Structure 1
Amino acid sequence: MASYQTKVGIIGAGPAGLTLALLLKRQGIDCIILENRERTYVESRVRAGLLEQNTVDLLTELGVADRLHREGLPHHGVYLSFNGVRKRVPFTELTDGRCITIYGQQEVVKDLIKANLERGTPIYFEASATTIDGLETDAPVIHFEQQGEVHTVGCAFVAACDGYHGIGRKHLPQGTYNEFRIDYPFSWLGILAHAKPSSDELIYAYHERGFALHSLRSETVSRLYIQVANDDHIDNWSDDQIWDELEIRLSDGNGFTLNRGDIFEKGITPMRSFMIDNMQYRRLFLAGDAAHIVPPTGGKGLNLAVADVTILANALADYYETGQHNRLATYTSDCLRRIWRVQDFSNTMTYLFHKQAEHGSFENQIQQAKFDYIARSTAMATTIAENYVGLKEL
């Protein structure tokens, strides 16, 4: 059995854990990262692809954004469509030049892993954290298994960036937090296709047949989604049926043409919101999906995780500089301000563009009224733009 010592033990080599490690390294705070998957899997796992301005700025500041700036695709607006009527929300004009950048999460992870290893932070892959001992003390210990052997990491603090199914949240004592959850009555059927994007910017579309989203991953790969029932199955949809449905739902009455191509990945994802209202216990701190999940409608998951660890890194740096726990003590409340804002924005976008009731019903007419207000109100469009590109401070 090997025993390691460090100041911060990080569980999870996703965007949250990897970004936290770089932030700590910059402050001279040693850490070790444990990741239960192999490196190849982590670097190829397709997830989000939308980076807020805050996230791009932070990665640039950390010196890990060279490839992002070369290959990422800045978007200065978004198209919102309701029953074929399309409205562009101009981010840059409404937010003092801020925008989003399309750059796959797996590419972010590759960049972050490379930077951490080059800067000397140990990452143990295929290392499954099993339990955390000593949380009542100043020296917690993470137990993990790797290649059939049990090892430990002794540390001063534990950062659980290990996702919804990780062990971090399970170590919060019962009664120390409340759980909030919404399981939406629809899912997303998503595809990745070797097809040139059909639009220069994302399109969110409400249609009486259901929601559709046109997104992209590069200048040659499109990422597209349609709303389906929760009990639907991917085998019910041929590639041609998917393309036909996308064509119908994304049409704008002005000659919009959907570029088609070979679909190389497809699947159905349930839509849900989840969060807890306490993200810490003693010297254990949760970040990212370990503490909250938002529906992908707003593209906020990765960005919210990065916001969490930025707050945590600053609090840990303050502790090691001053010896005071003040900023660590307010970690949860500092995070929750942004989390609740993001939950509201993601929920709003989800309910606005998904079919929930019959076309022409009261609920549907309310959706139409909200869209009409966005289309004619600069103030409402600015609210959408500010939240979409990421609020500077909260």
Structure 2
Amino acid sequence: MRTQVCIVGAGPAGLLLGHLLRAEGVECVVIERRSPEYVLGRIRAGVLEQITVSLMERLGLDGRLKAEGLPHDGFNLADGERLIRIDVAALTGKQVVVYGQTELTRDLMAAREERGLEVIYDAEDVALHEVDGDAPFVTYRKDGAERRVDCRFIAGCDGFHGPSRKAVPASVGREYERVYPFGWLGILADVPPCNHELIYANHERGFALASMRSETRSRYYVDVPLSERIEDWPDERIWDELAIRLGPEAAAQMTRGPALEKSIAPLRSYVFAPLRHGSLLLCGDAAHIVPPTGAKGLNLAASDVHYAAEALTGFFRANDGDAIAGYSDRALARVWKAERFSWSLTRLMHRFPEDGAFERAMQVAELDYIATSRAAQTSLAENYVGLPI
């Protein structure tokens, strides 16, 4: 098989890039090692910045997003004594939209046949070859047969554990990483949210987050040591801990219910640079990871895809090699700003085991400054809603 762009990974980043390229007449094929059912079964975040919403609007795939998404004008920080509301709409004139990543992926998947986007699922042993040159190719195995896709560019959208980043020579790439000493224990339940906006809580017992997927489905988190086991956290224990950490105001509005899903996710900040090597462009989790504090993961992947689609379209429609050459620098400039925001909010809202009285006093001072300063709130709001592309 021959195409112009081979996209590795059919999560939201890969599908979004595929749709954007097809809309511009660029030939592409998406290869995914998992089944469609597995891809849709992954439970992920769902706070969308304007960049993600606008890309879906541009593709005309935002019907369900508009009908079912929950626009949010702000979010809240809890410091154990009060809720500090950050009025994003008033401070920036923008909103975020709560819409599950699973639903976004479902919308992109449903449109692939109508839009002529070829996606090959259940592709085993995917490998990238000759990415240094102008004629890379991807091999994989399906239905017992070895197959090959020749192309001009490869877009690696295959997540942190995929083969794309590993195809970049160690002498070329550089890794930046911060591993956090805790994970987020999450519970998903079919109960109404305790607040119509998200609450990030800093409590002496640890961090908590009250979030939602819809008006009838809630997502809650508490941070726990990495040594904790999910088996030691029955539903009632999680609900009890949430009620303490989120504070009495939120607890009074909390509805408890059986867990649809529970998990413990480790937290890390990670960046791989550059995002382009030869004919390979990296997008999303293949190149960077952010802690979920601030909901940047999916949105950062969408901004990568925006830059990658512009670069690839410029190359094929106008023979613009400079667009490809500039992709990494353009994308990384936004990546590092999102990493900074996610790291700083994580640092502010969590109790780190190595922290002492001084570090706690700094958190108290910072939260009090945010509570009383419009400038501090504006900075938070600008970063939360998403910096300009």
SS of 1:211's partner is: strand
Which of 312, 317, 322 is the equivalent residue of 2:318?
A: 322
Residue matched to 1:182: 178
In structure 1, how many angstroms separate the alpha carbons of the residues matched to 2:192 and 2:250?
Answer: 20
In structure 1, how many angstroms separate the alpha carbons of the residues matched to 2:326 and 2:206?
Answer: 42
SS of 2:253's partner is: coil
Cα pair distance change 1:365/1:358, threshold 3 Å: farther
TM-score (norm 2): 0.97
Which of 292, 297, 303 is the equivalent residue of 1:307?
A: 303
Q: Which amino acid aligns with 2:335?
A: I
In structure 2, how many angstroms separate the alpha carbons of the residues matched to 1:183 and 1:239?
Answer: 27
Which of 237, 240, 262 is the equivalent residue of 2:236?
A: 240
Percent identical residues? 45
Query: Aligned residues, how many?
Result: 389
Farther off after superposition, 255-264 or 51-60 = 255-264
State the Cα distance separating 1:147 from its structure 2 match. Answer: 2.1
Residue matched to 2:106: 110
1:1-394 to 2 correspondences below 5 Å: 4-96=1-93, 98-252=94-248, 256-357=252-353, 361-393=357-389
State the Cα distance separating 1:274 from its structure 2 match. Answer: 0.8
State the Cα distance separating 1:134 from its structure 2 match. Answer: 2.7
In structure 2, how many angstroms separate the alpha carbons of the residues matched to 1:253 and 1:390?
Answer: 29
Cα pair distance change 1:133/1:299, threshold 3 Å: same
Deviation above 6 Å: which 4+ runs of structure 1?
none
State the Cα distance separating 1:264 from its structure 2 match. Answer: 1.3
What is the alpha-carbon root mean square deviation over aligned residues?
A: 1.4
Farther off after superposition, 223-232 or 145-154 = 145-154
C-alpha contact 2:31 2:119 (8 A) present in aligned 1:
yes
C-alpha contact 2:30 2:119 (8 A) present in aligned 1:
yes
In structure 2, how many angstroms separate the alpha carbons of the residues matched to 1:319 and 1:140?
Answer: 16
In structure 2, how many angstroms separate the alpha carbons of the residues matched to 1:33 and 1:265?
Answer: 29
C-alpha contact 2:173 2:272 (8 A) present in aligned 1:
yes
SS of 2:336's partner is: helix
SS of 2:231's partner is: helix
User: Could you list the runs of 5+ residues in structure 1 that have no partner in the other structure?
Assistant: none
In structure 2, how many angstroms separate the alpha carbons of the residues matched to 1:136 and 1:349?
Answer: 38
C-alpha contact 2:165 2:282 (8 A) present in aligned 1:
yes
In structure 1, how many angstroms separate the alpha carbons of the residues matched to 2:18 and 2:274?
Answer: 22
In structure 1, how many angstroms separate the alpha carbons of the residues matched to 2:174 and 2:312?
Answer: 25
Q: Which digits, 9 at most, give the CA deviation of each residue in 1:123-168, with x for residues without a partner? A: 0010135222232432211001112221011111100100111110
SS of 1:117's partner is: coil
Q: Which amino acid aligns with 1:381?
A: Q
Q: Which amino acid aligns with 1:247?
A: A
Cα pair distance change 1:323/1:265, threshold 3 Å: same
In structure 1, how many angstroms separate the alpha carbons of the residues matched to 2:245 and 2:298?
Answer: 27
C-alpha contact 1:164 1:291 (8 A) present in aligned 2:
yes
C-alpha contact 1:5 1:153 (8 A) present in aligned 2:
yes
C-alpha contact 1:211 1:227 (8 A) present in aligned 2:
yes
SS of 2:221's partner is: strand
C-alpha contact 1:207 1:249 (8 A) present in aligned 2:
yes
User: Could you list the runs of 5+ residues in structure 2 that have no partner in the other structure?
Assistant: none
In structure 1, how many angstroms separate the alpha carbons of the residues matched to 2:133 and 2:249?
Answer: 65
In structure 1, how many angstroms separate the alpha carbons of the residues matched to 2:82 and 2:357?
Answer: 19
